[in-house]
Amino acid sequence: MKKILVLALVAITFSSCTTTSLLTRGSQYPQMYVEKPTTILIMPPINKTTFVDAKEYFYTSLSYPLCEKGYYVVSPFLAMDLFQSESAYDSEMFIEGSLTPFKNVFGADAAMFTIINGWKRNNIGGIITVDIEYILRSTQTGAVLFNRKGVVSIDCSTGGSGYALLDMALTTLNTATTDKVIAARRCNYYVLQDLPNGKYAPLFDQDKETPAGKTIINATVRK
What mean pLDDT do residues 131-159 have?
92
Q: List the alpha helices (DSSP H) in the chain.
A: 2-20, 25-28, 30-35, 54-61, 63-68, 76-85, 100-106, 164-169, 175-192
With a cut of 70, say whether residue 17 has pLDDT above it. no
d(CA 184, CA 80): 19
d(CA 199, CA 72): 9
d(CA 189, CA 212): 15
> Percentage of residues in the chain with pLDDT exceeding 70?
81
List domains and CATH numbers for the chain.
Answer: 25-206+213-222 (3.40.50.10610)
Q: Are 132 and 201 in contact (CB under 8 A)?
A: no
With a cut of 90, say whether residue 36 has pLDDT above it. yes
pLDDT of residue 85: 84
With a cut of 70, say whether residue 151 has pLDDT above it. yes
What mean pLDDT do residues 1-7 have?
46
pLDDT of residue 140: 95
Question: Would you say the pTM of this structure is higher than 0.85?
Answer: no
86 burial type by CB count under 10 A (0-12 exposed, 13-18 middle, 19+ buried): exposed
- Mean pLDDT (the chain) is 84
pLDDT of residue 203: 95
What mean pLDDT do residues 27-55 have?
96
What's the pLDDT tens digit per position in 79-118? 998 888 877 778 999 999 999 999 999 999 999 999 999 9
